């Protein structure tokens, strides 16, 4: 689990790169590089307020994967009011 001050979703990852998606820590945030198709699916999930999971790693890496989970929560008491 990684805490981050911000998240950047970059939809320019080419399918020919050999990666499903790539995540990396940038300063105190997280950058997630995804394909155009995944970006379209992410946008739709955000519009629909649905949870979304991005699988990161090489296409043929087997069971070793990392995930970026976008989850909607009911309790907003601990969110930044500003």
Instruction: Quote the pLDDT of residue 78.
Output: 63
User: Does CATH place domain 6-70 in 3.40.50.2300?
Assistant: no
Q: What is the pLDDT of residues 10-34, one digit of tens each?
A: 999 998 999 999 999 888 899 999 9
Instruction: Quote the pLDDT of residue 47.
Output: 96
pLDDT at residue 76 greater than cutoff 90 = no
Distance CA 81, CA 65 (A): 34
Distance CA 17, CA 7 (A): 22
| Model-wide pTM > 0.95 | no
């Amino acid at each position: 689990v990684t805490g981050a001050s911000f998240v950047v979703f970059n939809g320019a990852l080419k399918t020919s790169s050999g990666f499903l998606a790539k995540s990396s820590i940038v300063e105190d945030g997280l950058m997630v590089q995804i394909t155009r198709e995944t970006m379209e699916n992410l946008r739709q999930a955000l519009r629909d307020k649905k949870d979304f999971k991005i699988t990161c790693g090489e296409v043929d890496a087997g069971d070793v994967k990392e995930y970026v989970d976008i989850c909607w929560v009911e309790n907003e008491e601990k969110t930044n009011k500003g």
